[in-house]
Every structure is written in structure tokens, then in C-alpha cells.
Amino acid sequence: MRPPSVDRLARSLAHTGLPHPLLVDVARAAIADGEHEQAETRARAVAASLLQPVINATGTMLHTNLGRAPWSHTAEASFSNLEFDLSTGQRGSRQRHVGRLFAQLCDAEAAIIVNNCAAAVTLAMAGLAVGREVAVSRGELVEIGGGFRVPDVIEQSGAALHAVGTTNRTRASDFANAAESGADIAVNLMVHQSNYKIVGFTEAPTVTQLAELDTPLVCDIGSGLLDAACPWLASGPPPWLEDEPAAKQTLAAGADLVCFSGDKLLGGPQAGIIAGRADLVAKCAAHPLARAFRPGGLVLSSLQELAMAYLRRDGDAIPFWRMAARTPTELRERATALGIGQVVDLMSVPGGGTLPTVEVPSVGVMLTGDHTQALRVHQPPIIARVQDQKTLIDLRTVEPGHDSHIAAALRALNT
């Protein structure tokens, strides 16, 4: 029996919702492999490989593979005053609108926005230390996901690394001695150990101690907590945030610049923020890399909406903080209402390379066996975790409005 024509087979797959050119590619490949009967399966596999919403039932609040902080932003298709000054009618700065909002949130003199925190650190080093040296504790020469290492960031910025102290013990005197040794230290850099901990016989200088030195201090606080007091939460800061560095307090302690992420504890889109002394921020903004690292209007508009929620102290408007503030009692009621599976106490984690030893009490449901593949093909896909051959659905990271999807998927497992 002859296989159908490519065009005929592609048209028969129109119900999958893929554009015709993609269906033609699927049909052609299926016919070439002698598997035209599997064309629909192939088409659905292509559809599943595209970006789409998923339900995070893993309990990891900032799941890097699932896009970190959940954030929704809509804007009508229109022009904007992205680089236009409405008061003068002249060209303006794309950094002014949102940068000044984050400067206010951090109690900083100025702030600029870039693509992510790695770009923020790279730009800070390039703007302040190109051709010179950056002093960093050996205990903070971290590697983040994807093999991205602090020494590489410094090298790519055009500066040179000057490691001080030891892996487990570094003092402010180590930084002072580096400057006094004749080394050309332009910046002292503190890097938050966001994805690991060194415990035991340890010592590290404080921000205040390093701020007393003559060398400018840049702090990569990583996770993006704005204010340790969490004034946007009616209940105040959750206990699991204890000791997490925050931008406002780090600057108040004497740091000259802070760099942090937009899509972690800040709860917004992927971005990086540099905030602090106006003269140093201006040097970063004037560096050629600033243009390469600058975000587009959609990201800036999204960050502006997020910043306004913080300024209103409206934590309920920020999905991450709604998720973080859910109580075990609330979660238990939702788990019971599902009516399927065993209601169990669980422990969620912040994730996203933040607070590596922290666990947050949660509640969900447990099913015997590994059902994660079946849950992934549900629409919308549900991403769960397996422990000891039991499937765990952690409701802390599931929006209440998605509970019906969870219930439907769990019922389907029993049919």
C-alpha cells in the first residue's frame, strides 16, 4: 500500500493545532521513515516540545527548569515611551522609568536593569575594574548552573581575579592586605553562596567590615530579596528567610553596589538589577556591554508592574509571595478536597539556587508508584516528583485554581 502524499498527510494533522509548515516537516519525516501511521504521534511530540504552561507540583518554588518565579504580564500592542522623554519631547533613557523605581525600593541612589544577574555582575566588573583586579574570597568562587563560574565572569569582564583568604576562612584583613600588597585592586566582590553552604570551622567578613575599606564593595546577593522586613507581607517575613541577604539592608550596611536576580525571590521575569551609588551605576551604564545586556521593553514593562506591586506593599499581587505565604492548614484543606490519594505532610524548597539548606512545611497527596510520565502528558502537563516509588503532588507550588486539573489527572490514572 502506497503511503499518502506529504501534503495530504500534513492536512490530516491540522487538528493538532500546529502550523502547516511544521506539519509538512512531520509528514515528510514520517513517510521517509516508513511510519506514516505514527505521524499524529510525531506531531503531538513536536507540540509538546514547544513552550507551554505547566503545573508545578514538585514543591520547588523557584524551579529553574520550569521558569523559576511564576509571573504574568499583559500589555496591549502599542508604542511606548521606552526611550522618549514626554516632558521634553527628546530622546530619553530606557533605564530611567524602571531603574528609579528599584532604586527607591532598595533605598539606593540609582539602579539599572540588565538581562540577568550574571550580566549584572559582568557589567559591574567591566564598568569598574576593567584592566585591574577584583578581590574575592576563595570561599565565594562559586559555580552556578550550566558551568558558569565567578572566575570566568571576572575574566570575561576584562578584569583579573585576585583570590583572598581560604576556602573556609576569610577575614576583612585578607582584603586589606591585598590592597596594601601592591596589587591593583579596583573592587572587592562579595558573592552570595546561594546554592551551597560551608559549615564547621568557618569565618567570613561582614558587609560592614568590608565597607570600611577604601576599595568599592560590590555584593552579588543573587536571590533578589528586596527588604528583609518583607513589608509587602501582612504576616511579616517567613522564618525560612532568616539570614538571607536583602538589597536594602546590604546597601544600608555600606555596600556600594548590589546585584541581584529578577526571577528568584523578587518574583518577576528574568532580569538582573544593579543598584547603589549613582556614580558607580553611571559607570556601568556607560560601558559598551550595557547595550548588549539591556533588556527589551516587554521585560521593563513587566518589571515596572512588579515594582509598583512592591511599592503598594501588595504581596498578594506577586504569585511567588502568594505561594510562599500559604499555610499548611490551607494546603491540607485543598489536599483533602481533592478526594484522591493519601494526604501527606511534605517539605517544599525555595529552589532556583537559593537557600540550599532550607525546607518549608507543606502538604500534598501521595500515590503509590511512579505516575510522573502519565501526569506530564496531561493537558496542561503536571510536573510532580517521585520519592521511594511514590508520586508526590506538593500543593504549595500549585495555584488553587489548578486544583481541578490535578483532580482530573489523578482520576484519569485510575481509569
pLDDT, tens digit, 9 for 90 and up, residues 244-280: 999 999 999 999 999 999 999 999 999 999 999 999 9
Q: What is the model's pLDDT at position 73? A: 84
Q: What is the model's pLDDT at position 243? A: 84
Of 415, 402, 411, 414, which is closest to residue 56 (Cα–Cα)? Answer: 402
Q: What is the model's pLDDT at position 222? A: 77
Q: What is the model's pLDDT at position 143? A: 80
**Alpha-carbon Rg of the chain, whole angstroms?**
25
Give yes or no for a contact between 303 and 98, defined as CB atoms under 8 angstroms apart. Answer: yes
CA pseudo-torsion sign 41, 44, 46, 48: negative
Q: What is the model's pLDDT at position 145? A: 64
DSSP letters of 84-123? B-TTTSSB--TTHHHHHHHHHHHT-SEEEEESSHHHHHHH
Q: Between the CA atoms of 22, 23, 28 and 31, what dihedral angle is there, to the nearest 10 degrees?
A: 150
Q: What is the model's pLDDT at position 415? A: 66
Report the top-level CATH class of 96-315. Answer: alpha beta
Identify the CATH number of the domain defined by range 55-70+321-413: 3.90.1150.180
Q: What is the pTM of this model?
A: 0.93
**DSSP conformational letter for 261:** E
Residues of the chain with pLDDT under 50: none
Give yes or no for a contact between 259 and 218, defined as CB atoms under 8 angstroms apart. Answer: yes
What 3 state SS string does 24-90 have? HHHHHHHHHCCCHHHHHHHHHHHHHCCCCCCEECCCEEECHHHCCCCCCCCCCCCCCCCCECCCCCC
Q: What is the model's pLDDT at position 60? A: 96
Return the domain boundaries, the chain: 9-48, 55-70+321-413, 96-315
Give yes or no for a contact between 28 and 3, defined as CB atoms under 8 angstroms apart. Answer: no
Place of cell 528574568: 270
Element (H, E) at 136: strand 133-137
